[in-house]
A and B are shown apart, each in its own frame.
Chain A
Amino acid sequence: MRRLLYLLPLALFLVIAGYFAATLRSGRDPQALPSAMIDKPMPAIDLAALDNGARVTSSSFAGQVVLINFFASWCVPCREEQPLLLRLKTENTVPVIGIAYKDKPQDTQRFLTQLGDPFQRIGLDQEGQLALNFGVYGVPETYVIGKDGRIRYRQISVITPEIWEETILPLIKKLAAS
């Protein structure tokens, strides 16, 4: 019995090594995260709103092209994409629905007061349940939703100006025209 205890570290290590091997053999590029949700209908949204108003639901923006942006006040890169999102709002390019991910409402409010509020509505996902349904990998993460309510694109991490100009903006134009 005592001997088995001494085998425990080795057994644990072999499990972890097996997992590493599986990850390597799968040949997936860790930089390109899988996007199983593309072209699938987006999960239903029904969240309390930051402004204590009507609940944020997916039906409230059905039939429109929208961006869904998962963000958090504790997320440093989120601050980086805030100016771009603010520009979308002032130029009225596309409505952005903000989902405050695992964040206290007062922290979210403070974040938006400091950096500006680029969102049409803000839903509170304090438990991260919606993020789980979407398959969010980390914040910031942004989804482009077509008029038919299907997920058409997933941007992991910050939307850089290049990605915006070269990928997302053309896609939004195409989706809006269809």
Chain B
Amino acid sequence: MIIEIGHFALILALLVAAVQSTIPLMGAARREAGMMAVGKTAAITQFVLIALAFATLVHAYVTSDFSVINVVDNSHSDKPLLYKITGVWGNHEGSMVLWVFMLALCGAAVAVFGANLPPPLKARVLAVQGMIGVGFLLFILLTSNPFQRVLPAPADGQGLNPILQDPGLAFHPPFLYLGYVGFSVSFSFAVAALIEGRVDAAWGRWVRPWALFSWCALAIGIAMGSWWAYYTLGWGGWWYWDPVENASFMPWLVGTALIHSAIVVEKRDALKSWTILLAILTFSLSLVGTFLVRSGVLTSVHAFAVDPARGTFILLLLLVVIGGSLTLYAWRAPALKAGGLFAPISREGALVLNNLLLTTGAATVFVGTLYPLFLDAVGGPKLSVGFPFFNRSFVPLMVPMLIAVAVGPLMAWKRGDLGGAMQRLWAALVVVIIGVVGALVVTEGSYVLALLGIGLAAWVAIAALLEWTERVRLFRTTLADSLRRALHLPRSAYGMTIAHIGLAITVAGISASAFETERIEIVAPGHDIAIGGYVLRLNGVGKVQGANFTADDAKIVVTHDGKDVGEMHPERRFFPLQQQTTSETAIRTNFFSDLYVALGDPDGRGGWTLRVYLKPLVPWIWLGAVIMAGGGIVSLSDRRWRVGAATRAKGAHALGIAPGE
């Protein structure tokens, strides 16, 4: 009964979404306040209905209702409660419900918090959100219904893929979807602006927090996925350029471009049609990211079950959403009034450069992901694109980007002074060059690229700090004055500094992976394996019984320079239901390096394969991503995003503090 309520709620949500996508739009065209107000009610109702549907599905999973096919296929009564819940989105149908749930949540958030939006803009934004909702609710109800019953109900379920039974992967999709779906709001704003034919600074002020929020969620989602791959797959790798990874990385790259170009719209009233295009592209790539892997066009280790009917529907949906918005763009964007002019060497110019490099980077990833299949489709030779392609195409694009990241914030709007900016950065340049050259001499030139990468990271970090000292006039005025300036600096300025330092930390972590050492050996109990000053003694391998698995649990005593450091317990888990083995690695981290141990196969004579890695700075990769997202959140807390910000911002001007970025 409960599950039917969920199904019914989802059908009702579709009808409400249909209302939401038409009535407010007509109201906005006729300037009728009553019809425009329908948008708010409909968005909130749609959210409540989808939340109800999602809750019934969660209920079916928690109570192990095996009369529902979706639960049978993806759950099992022995599964821990956490994975019963996360199993809801560990499959195609359930993850789609989570997706529309978040979509409706975003729509409702615009409806509730958008009180100070001009009513026609708000009505149109909500209408576009409603249209997206209609498309995806139809998709769920017609091709991917999670509420289907099965009779007679089987005694137990088939269980969730053991790989998905992991806290990291359990929470990776919600963040990723929050990021993907959050970009729907900037998309809706872009489409609404195209319909209105007007983009102004207020529009930029509205789009940017949404893009920023989605960008943060996506950054966290990607970092979680990468971290999960790192500690689960047992080979110490953290990025594989897999199509699904690339699919989440592309909207993040274009989204990064978007949050930067939206600044230009807000501050300088320029780059409008470009920002609109970026908003459309970011969400389009999010859609491609969510759906391409479900459509049967691409193969991936992450792929959900393939179904041609779904593929056709997805393709039509993409055609309508992306094709429709791009048509609207081609039609209306040329009419947008161009805003403030600027010289090539200026803050705007630097942001344009950043945009170009980021979008080109996203384009290379796109080509690398689809080109092999494209050639295959036209009957050409089959090519393999892996690390070599991405390392040679994507990485070199990021080098000028990192150089520019340091310089851009020091330039003035409209007309910057490159010489002046470099003058303020010369200390950083000298420090970095001496450091890199010194390290090259010490290592006899064997880690050129890694050291260059770390040098670039240091360059970005030092420049970010210098820019901050510049703003607070440290040492150039009294300390009290600097402190006063530091306290009054807008949060968005701090957000930028923090995010850029986070980027530097991630780049350093990635570059330092060249310094890792690994040992892969067969070790008998009582024997040692030594790596970089650590000695690991295998004391033995025992059996452990888990809730729905049995595990070989290795007990390894670690000493460093003779001092006891502690014990490590890498495991190999065997899930009898799925006949599948997963590895649980053991990782000791001190934030500067990871000692990473994975337990491999037994050799049959009492020995076990142990894979031991010493990975300097690897935790920085994710730490940096979290700091980047943190910078985004600090920027989001900036007072000017909040209700009534405009009036208070005027007060800040009177105090003589530039609204910063």
Contacts and interface: CB of A to CB of B under 8 A. Distances in A.
Contact of B330 (A10, A24, A34): A10
Interface of B: 233, 235, 237, 240, 273, 277, 280-281, 284, 292, 295-299, 303, 306, 308, 311-312, 315, 318-319, 322-323, 326-327, 329-330, 333-334, 370, 372-374, 376-377, 381-384, 386-388, 518-520, 601, 609
A74 B386 contact: yes
Given A14-B323, A19-B377, A135-B381, A74 B306 contact: no
Contacts of B306: 29-31
Residue of A27, A131, A137 most packed against chain B (CB within 10 A):
A137
A6 B329 CA distance: 7
Given A30-B297, A30-B298, A17 B520 contact: no
B297 A23 contact: yes
A135 B370 CA distance: 17
B374 A19 contact: yes
Contacts of B312: 24
A136 B240 contact: no
Nearest to B391: A74
25 contacts: A9-B277, A9-B280, A9-B330, A10-B323, A13-B322, A13-B323, A13-B326, A14-B323, A17-B323, A20-B297, A23-B377, A24-B308, A30-B306, A31-B299, A74-B386, A79-B235, A102-B386, A114-B520, A128-B383, A131-B384, A132-B382, A136-B384, A137-B384, A139-B384, A139-B386
Contacts of B323: 10, 13-14, 17
Interface of A: 2-3, 6-7, 9-10, 13-14, 16-17, 19-24, 26-27, 29-31, 34, 72, 74-76, 79, 83, 101-102, 114-115, 128, 131-132, 135-139
Majority DSSP secondary structure for residues of B touching A: helix
B242 to A, nearest CB: 10
Contacts of A19: 370, 374, 377
A8 B132 CA distance: 24
Contacts of A22: 377
B335 to A, nearest CB: 10
Given A6-B330, A9-B326, A76-B237, A132 B381 contact: yes
Contacts of B240: 76
B281 A9 contact: yes
Contacts of A23: 296-297, 373, 377
A38 B322 CA distance: 40
B330 A7 contact: yes
Contacts of A27: 308
B278 to A, nearest CB: 11
Given A9-B277, A128-B384, A26 B377 contact: yes
Residue of B298, B381, B383 most packed against chain A (CB within 10 A):
B383
A17 B237 contact: no
B388 A102 contact: yes
